[in-house]
Amino acid sequence: MAEEKKYRKVRIKKGPKGWGGPLVIEPKPGRDLIYSVTGGGIHPVAQRIADLTGGTPFDGFKSKAAFEEIAVAVIDCGGTARVGVYPMKKVPTVDIYPTSPSGPLFRFITEELFCSGVRVEDIELIE
């Protein structure tokens, strides 16, 4: 039998001038991707979440994944498109820029699903 992967939980709080959260993220088997939809590969914030939780870092611009496999999406969105797309699909979303709900999809962006301005030091292990 394959060894079962151990996951841990993190709390992610908003950074300076950020909005929303805190989010509690705990990857689960089959839903353990730390989905980085950022320019230039896996963002350090996504890497940190993966390192702490045991989730799998994943580059959304390189490969394809289903929403059901995503534990959290990390974006570097300037406020219009990506901020809404992942919350709309009920995927918890971390924006490294301090954006607030805006854009045509703003109604999907809630404090339970979205947290912005997040830096590496805003992520802490809770279990």
Partner 1 sequence: MMSAGRVYPQKTVVPALIFVMLNFFAYSPYSGDYMIKYQANVTFIGPMVSEFIENHILILFGESAPEELMEFAIIHDGKNLIKPLAVNDSVQIGESSYKVLAIGEVANTNLANLGHLVLKFNGNTSVEMPGDVCLEEKPLPPIQVGEKIMIYD
Shortest Å, Cβ 60 to partner 1: 5
Q: Give the contact letters, 82-111, x = binds to partner 1 (CB under 8 A), - = no.
A: x--xx--x-------x-x--xxx-------
61 touches 78 (CB < 8 A) = no
Shortest Å, Cβ 3 to partner 1: 30
H-run or E-run covering 70 = strand 70-75
Residues 45, 120: Cα–Cα separation, whole Å: 5
CB burial of 29-39 (b: ≥16 within 10 Å; e: otherwise) equals eebbbbbbbbe
77 belongs to the catalytic site: yes
Q: Binder to partner 1 among 56, 79, 119, 120 (CB under 8 A)?
A: 79
Residues 3, 65: Cα–Cα separation, whole Å: 23
Q: Binder to partner 1 among 5, 24, 68, 81 (CB under 8 A)?
A: 81
Q: Which residues here bind partner 1, judged by CB under 8 A?
A: 37, 39-40, 60-62, 64, 67, 76-82, 85-86, 89, 97, 99, 102-104
